[in-house]
Structure 1
Amino acid sequence: MRIISGKYKGRRLNPPKNLPVRPTTDMSKEALFNILNNYYDFEGLKVLDLFSGTGNLSYEFASRGAENITAVDADFGCVKYIKQTANEFDFNISAIKSDVYKFLERATLRYDIIVADPPYNFTQQEFEKIAQLIFDNNLLSEEGMLIIEHSKHTTLEHVTNWSFSKKYGGSIFSFFEFDKDESDKINEDSDIK
């Protein structure tokens, strides 16, 4: 596993072998960040990395200049490794041990980018619930993007705010955004309060 771009480009990371993870491949990660480069300047972005595992995606965001990254995983070993790595590289990553759904139910911050890489064997409903909680709880900024990584056995095109999907090998990234009309409505609602 390596960091593919930014300040720490080329640095290799060697997480413990016993972590219960399936890290995003370098090829898929590079493709994902090529897409995101077309939408965002990473400097100063607020990022939420759900089911963060080894922290692979969090480190990539940090290396590219994202300043406020929250990594959430239920596994103690994963959270411990992310904290150690963030400390070693001086990354501003806050690693939180929590069930992702419980975290999303009580979260109050809004993020520019939210990435979720749950286990591929999750049910269709478990995948859909991620997007539902994020949009119902208003956790994504108006110009923000939610990306859910999944296998070809899961389909998310029918889920509200789905925008597009990209396939890389055995992985698919589904992208969710507010449509412009929805974004305007959020602005109007926040003006009323």
Structure 2
Amino acid sequence: MRIISGLHKGRRINAPKKLPARPTTDMAKEALFNILNNTYYFDDISVLDLFAGIGSISYEFASRGTTQITAVDQELGCIKFINETAESFEMPIQAIKSDVFKFLEQATLKSTIIFADPPYAFPIEEFSKIPELVFENNLLEDDGVLIVEHSKHTDISHLENYNYSKSYGGNMFSFFSHPTTED
């Protein structure tokens, strides 16, 4: 895996094979960040990376200048790897070992971008809990976006606050945001 852009562009990250992670492909990451680059100044936002795995999305944000990044994963090995890599690259990533759903139930942290990359094999009920908890607990800033990565075979377009999806190979990103109010 490599960092696509920013200060650390081209740097390779070699995670131990034993870690239970499925990093977002370079092609999908590049496409996602092209979308986000048209909406956000990365140095002005805060990011919550859920089911962070080895931290590939967190590293991309940090490389682009984001200074408020929280990565959450329940696997201690993944959290240790993120901490070691962030320290080595001098990246401002706070890694937290926690079950994501418990974290979302107790969190008070508001973020501009919340990225969730749960296991592709999750049942639809588990996928639906992510936007449900994010919006119920008001964890997304008003101009923010929740992005859920999933397989193209999983349809979550019926969930509340869904906006649209983009497909890249077998990966799909579904975007959720606060409803817009017209004056």
Secondary structure at 2:156's aligned position in 1? coil
* Cα distance between partner residues in 1 of 2:44 and 2:80: 25
* 1:1-193 equivalences in 2 (<5 Å): 1-181=1-181
Letter in 1 for 2:115: V
State the Cα deviation string for residues 101-130 of structure 1 (Å, max 9, x = none).
000000001000000000000000100100
Structure 1 runs of 4+ off > 3 angstroms?
Answer: none
Secondary structure at 1:72's aligned position in 2? strand
State the Cα deviation string for residues 86-111 of structure 1 (Å, max 9, x = none).
10011110000000000000000100
Q: What is the TM-score of this pair, normalised by structure 2?
A: 0.98
* Cα distance between partner residues in 1 of 2:34 and 2:121: 27
Unaligned runs of 5+ in 1: 185-193
Secondary structure at 2:174's aligned position in 1? strand
Identity within the alignment, %: 62
* Cα distance between partner residues in 1 of 2:44 and 2:62: 10
Q: Could you say what the CA RMSD is over the residues aligned between the two structures, in angstroms?
A: 1.1
Letter in 1 for 2:26: D
CA shift, 1:44, in A, is: 2.9
The count of aligned residue pairs is 183
- Of 60-69 and 173-182, the range deviating more from structure 2: 173-182
CA shift, 1:58, in A, is: 0.1
* Cα distance between partner residues in 2 of 1:111 and 1:93: 14
Larger radius of gyration: 1
* Cα distance between partner residues in 2 of 1:73 and 1:106: 15
